Structure 1
Amino acid sequence: MWNYNFYIYITTNPEKTVIYVGVTNDLRIRLHQHYENRGKKNSFAGKYYCYNLVYYEHFHHIEHAIDREKEIKKWRRAKKIALIESVNPEWRFLNNDISD
């Protein structure tokens, strides 16, 4: 059996006022892409400077990751905040934790 890695993740801007939910197969590279695209108007994450990781979940099957991303995207902001704070109450930026 193949061991695949997929992630759903939540990023925020430096002021922690905007929330972005995404899915990727390489979290480190995706965060770098978000950082490089900061301020660019052609994407939501870029437009609102959402490059700071505050939450993520790991999956072995892309279908499960996509289903979870869709589920979270439908939630109201308060529920997303509760999810983040369930594991990261200070909204600490986790980018350096997964960079290596």
Structure 2
Amino acid sequence: MEKTILIICEAGISASLLVSKILETIKEKRLNYVIDYAPVSRVQEKLDFKNYDVLLLTPQVARHKEKIQKIIDQKKCTSEIVFIKPEDFQYMNVEKIISAL
């Protein structure tokens, strides 16, 4: 079964490297994940078009959890919010990040 994941970062720049590494890993492991990413300012727009299984928040946007939860509630989404640990993000520990999904 396919799992859809939206990685949310501050401006979209820091997540691009993370997305590349996650895509490599899911391809190697043959996981059926669809990855997308967006800055926190575009979360509502993304959720207007798709209900993601997981919203994966980078450490920089963890402070926006309430705002994101409000958007989820308004859109009646079933998305689960998962936080990337700062050390896993800093060292791009994709194995640990994926295991949290």
Alignment TM-score > 0.5, same fold: no
Q: Which has the higher helix share?
A: 2
TM-score, with normalisation over the residues of structure 1? 0.27
TM-score, with normalisation over the residues of structure 2? 0.27
